[in-house]
Structure 1
Amino acid sequence: MNRPKVALITGITGQDGAYLGEFLLDKGYVVHGIKRRTSLFNTKRIDHLYQDPHVSDRRFILHHGDMTDSSSLVHITEQVQPDEI
């Protein structure tokens, strides 16, 4: 069985990021999204995509990160090992 493609999306809570995440999920991808901690109030665009973090086969995973913090981005990228960013 082939491993599904993995995508890492920055700005997942924004209009374009949320749309891309939903599109890739429909295509069978596992989607990892990076959101700023300050985006806590602005998750309504992805609420319908959210999956319980305790489910082992979930396909939508959120990470907290900041585009200005290169070490956190490197850590997330190494952890996720995406096929596409």
Structure 2
Amino acid sequence: MTKKALITGITGQDGSYLAEFLLEKGYEVHGIKRRASLFNTQRVDHIYEDPHVEHQRFVLHYGDLSDSSNLTRIVQQVQPDEVYNLGAQSHVAVSFESPEYTADVDS
């Protein structure tokens, strides 16, 4: 049976490397990425699969770590065997502008 992994921060350096590693191990990988004005997926573009193709092994979901109801929906939908929380608000200037949001997301 194929294991499923859910990775927050999939488009970051560590998340994208972990996704590649797990795909090589035969996992089905689901990643959560924050909605942004740019489709910031260059670190995972080479493993991205068309969402309309059946039996895809790499799936992106939109979500924000501060939105617990959306995260719950994704976990219920995916039913992962493993969860890797690598998501964070990592932009220093934004962290000073929004300290409460940063604390909520990064902790």
User: So what's the TM-score if we normalise by structure 2?
Assistant: 0.75
Tell me the amino acid that sits aligned with residue 32 of structure 2. I
Match of residue 81 from structure 2? 83
Q: 2:34 corresponds to which residue? A: 36
Separation (CA, whole Å) in 2 of partners of 1:48 and 1:30: 16
Q: Does 1:62 align with 2:75?
A: no
Q: Which amino acid aligns with 2:70?
A: S
> Equivalent pairs: percent with the same residue?
70
Give 3-state SS (helix, strand or coil) of 1:55's partner.
coil
- 1:39, CA displacement in angstroms? 7.0
1:78 alignment partner AA: Q
**Cα distance 1:39–1:77, how it changes in 2: closer, same or farther (>3 A)?**
farther
Aligned pair count reads 83
Whole-angstrom CA distance in 1 between matches of 2:73 and 2:52: 21
With structure 1 as the length reference, what TM-score do the two structures score?
Answer: 0.93
Once the two structures are superposed, residues 33-85 of structure 1 have per-residue CA deviations (whole angstroms, 9 ceiling, x without a partner) of: 00000174421000001111111111000000000000000000000000000
Task: Give the aligned partner of residue 10 of structure 1.
Answer: 8
Paired amino acid for 2:63: G
Please say which structure displays the higher CA radius of gyration.
2
Deviations 1:16-36 (A, max 9, x none): 000000000000000000000
Q: How does 1:18-29 map to 2 (within 5 A)?
A: 18-29=16-27
CA RMSD of aligned residues (A): 1.1
SS at structure 2 position matched to 1:42: coil
